């Protein structure tokens, strides 16, 4: 077997700034790589996760010109953990304005987890501006996917971790965990918000990798957890602000001709492999890779190898 591909060496952003949305948000963005290279945009997960320096390393810095940004309310974007004017459609508009700021007509769109959701929504809204799609850890925001991860599904594989997650809820509240957490995450008392945020965030941090990871520590840091939990729960209780339940699958014809790679871990507990399978069945023109021995996280070896292989291949197109 050939050696697995790894992240490119560290790459610094050469330019950064804030996009004023005009409705109360300042979106942090940065550019890295070759200013005359292939344009690409990196769309992070969550919602509410934010970007990190290692995300730049998914692209060959000599061949790519990459836009990365923190979505509304998270990372370095301001105001922190804000839910006001924070919907999928606001984010789609932000991405389009960032494309215009970058000064490109088309770009490769790369997104994982919630980032795959937002990538699909953006591509289906602005297909003329998408050259290729690289999608990892597919999340289609259907009710059954939310029920699996936050009600009755993944909890059966992590009963100890789930018991801790619901420990602050009454038996009645446990019948609708997303709703119960929403009440706490929007409580007027910051202490109540933080208690819930840490538990919500830790549940995800401990279940997104096939094997335990040291990176779980960042999920319980107050600043990260508050934005991550509040924004994620806000999107989920509103079912992603989608217009219809099967929207992303129903609109595949809009993007059918865009070259696409779908990458998903076989043992992904956060977003089941069925999601990727359903997407590929609706979109057979896309290239599907199911990674054995992998969970949800982008940096699990087999997943990372396919991601780098995809960015390398598209760099020449």
Q: What pLDDT does residue 93 have? A: 98
- Closest to 89 measured CA to CA, from 135, 125, 116: 125
Q: What pLDDT does residue 112 have? A: 98
Residue 12: CB atoms within 10 Å? 9
Q: What pLDDT does residue 214 have? A: 72
Structure token pair of residue 273: 């492999």
Q: What pLDDT does residue 316 have? A: 86
Q: What pLDDT does residue 181 have? A: 98
Q: What pLDDT does residue 317 have? A: 79
- The residues annotated with a catalytic role in the active site are 113, 268, 296
Q: Please, which residues have CB within 8 angstroms of residue 237's CB and are 6 or more apart in sequence?
A: 178, 179, 182
Q: What pLDDT does residue 218 have? A: 85
Q: What pLDDT does residue 231 have? A: 98
Task: Give the class (CATH, top level) of 13-141+242-315.
Answer: alpha beta
Structure token pair of residue 47: 């919602």
pTM of the model: 0.97
Q: What pLDDT does residue 280 have? A: 98
Pairing of β 38-43 and β 64-69: parallel
Give me the residue spans of the domains in the chain: 13-141+242-315, 144-240
Tens digit of each residue's pLDDT, the chain (317 residues)? 579 999 999 999 999 999 999 999 999 999 999 999 999 999 999 999 999 999 999 999 999 999 999 999 999 999 999 999 999 999 999 999 999 999 999 999 999 999 999 999 999 999 999 999 999 999 999 999 999 999 999 999 999 999 999 999 999 999 999 999 999 999 999 999 999 999 999 999 999 999 887 777 789 899 999 999 999 999 999 999 998 989 999 999 999 999 999 999 999 999 999 999 999 999 999 999 999 999 999 999 999 999 999 999 999 87
């Amino acid at each position: 077997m050939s050696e697995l591909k790894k992240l490119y060496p560290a790459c610094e952003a050469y330019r950064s700034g804030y996009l004023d949305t005009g409705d109360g948000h300042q979106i942090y963005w940065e550019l890295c790589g070759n200013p005359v290279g292939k344009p690409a945009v990196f769309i992070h997960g969550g919602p509410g996760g934010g970007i990190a320096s290692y995300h730049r390393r998914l692209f060959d810095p000599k061949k790519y010109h990459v836009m990365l940004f923190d979505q509304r309310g998270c990372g370095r974007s301001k105001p922190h953990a804000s839910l006001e004017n924070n919907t999928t459609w606001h984010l789609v508009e932000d991405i389009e304005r960032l494309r215009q700021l970058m000064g490109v007509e088309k770009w490769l769109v790369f997104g994982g987890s919630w980032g795959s959701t937002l990538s699909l929504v953006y591509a289906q809204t602005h297909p003329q501006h998408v050259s290729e799609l690289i999608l990892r850890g597919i999340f289609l925001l259907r009710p059954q996917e939310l029920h699996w991860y936050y009600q009755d599904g993944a909890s059966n594989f992590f009963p100890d971790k789930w018991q801790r997650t619901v420990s602050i809820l009454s038996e009645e509240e446990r019948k609708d965990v997303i709703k119960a957490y929403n009440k706490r995450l929007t409580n007027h008392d910051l202490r109540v918000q933080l208690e819930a945020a840490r538990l919500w965030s830790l549940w995800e941090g401990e279940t997104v990798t096939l094997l335990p990871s040291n990176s779980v520590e960042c999920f319980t840091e107050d600043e990260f957890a508050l934005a991550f939990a509040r924004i994620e729960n806000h999107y989920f209780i509103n079912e992603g602000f989608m217009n219809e339940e099967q929207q992303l699958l129903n609109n595949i014809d809009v993007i059918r001709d865009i070259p696409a790679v779908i990458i998903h871990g076989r043992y992904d507990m956060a977003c089941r492999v069925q999601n990727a399978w359903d997407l590929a069945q609706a979109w057979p023109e896309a290239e599907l890779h199911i990674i054995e021995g992998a969970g949800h996280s982008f940096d699990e070896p087999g997943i990372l190898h396919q991601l780098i292989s995809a960015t390398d291949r598209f760099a020449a197109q």
